[in-house]
Amino acid sequence: MTKSSTAAGGASGAGVPVRDTPPVDLKRFIVDVPDFPRSGILFRDITPLLCTRFAATLDALERLFDEREWSEIDALAGIESRGFVLAAGLAARRGKGFVPIRKQGKLPPPVVSAAYALEYGSGVLEMQRGGGEVLLIDDVLATGGTLRASAELCGSAGYRVRGLAVLIDLRLIGEFTWNHMPLRSVIRYD
């Protein structure tokens, strides 16, 4: 498989395609931020990871799906906001479309909406109608509310979800599945 990524993690070798880059310990680039966004929450900050090892992060996410699965999809649906970064990067690499799933009021109408619960609140997600086969991508799975609502929303908007992936599974809810489809993750906190 030819990849359009650069050497893992840096400007040295920028623009030089790599093949089958060796796995990098991505977890060590994630910073724990206690009591953010509110007291009692331990936030896993992926900003340092994306800043220093973005290509390696995309490599790891890309490897979660085999070539047959990649050939059967039309687009990657990314959940606002860090899921956008990951899904858009993968879509560009694989020559696929990108479909944004946004917080309420961020997309022009007409949109389809779905309410969801977070570990520290609730909200509404929206996306525009469309069609085709998609992989659904987000950065972190905590309670599963956002991912579950996004998968349902994709169906309501006319898309068929063919796979679910996150960069980090916090393992707060055990094994996450949606419609008998297992979640794939790069990093797990057990």
Domain layout of the chain by residue ranges: 32-188
Residues with Cβ within 8 Å of residue 48, at least 6 apart in sequence = 29, 30, 31
User: 158 near 116, Cβ under 8 Å?
Assistant: no
> Mean pLDDT over all residues of the chain?
89
pLDDT tens readout for residues 109-160: 999 999 987 766 789 999 999 999 999 999 999 989 999 999 999 999 999 9
DSSP 92: H
Q: Can you tell me the mean pLDDT for 86-95?
A: 98
pLDDT > 70: what percent of the chain?
Answer: 87
Whose tokens are 């009591």? That residue is 35
Choosing from 119, 129, 160, 188, the catalytic residue is 119
Choosing from 44, 53, 80, 82, the catalytic residue is 82
Tell me if the domain spanning 32-188 has CATH number 3.40.50.10440.
no
Strand, helix or coil for residue 49? helix
82 among known catalytic residues = yes
> Which pair of tokens denotes residue 53?
């090892």
pLDDT tens readout for residues 8-20: 333 333 333 444 5
Phi-psi region of 13 (alpha: psi -120 to 50; beta: other; left: phi over 0): left
Q: Rounded to an integer, what is the distance from CA 143 to the centroid of its chain?
A: 15
Q: What is the distance between the alpha carbons of residues 154 and 133, in angstroms, rounded to a whole number?
A: 10
- pTM beyond 0.75: the answer is yes
Whose tokens are 């898309």? That residue is 159
Residues with Cβ within 8 Å of residue 107, at least 6 apart in sequence = 100, 126, 127, 128
68 among known catalytic residues = no
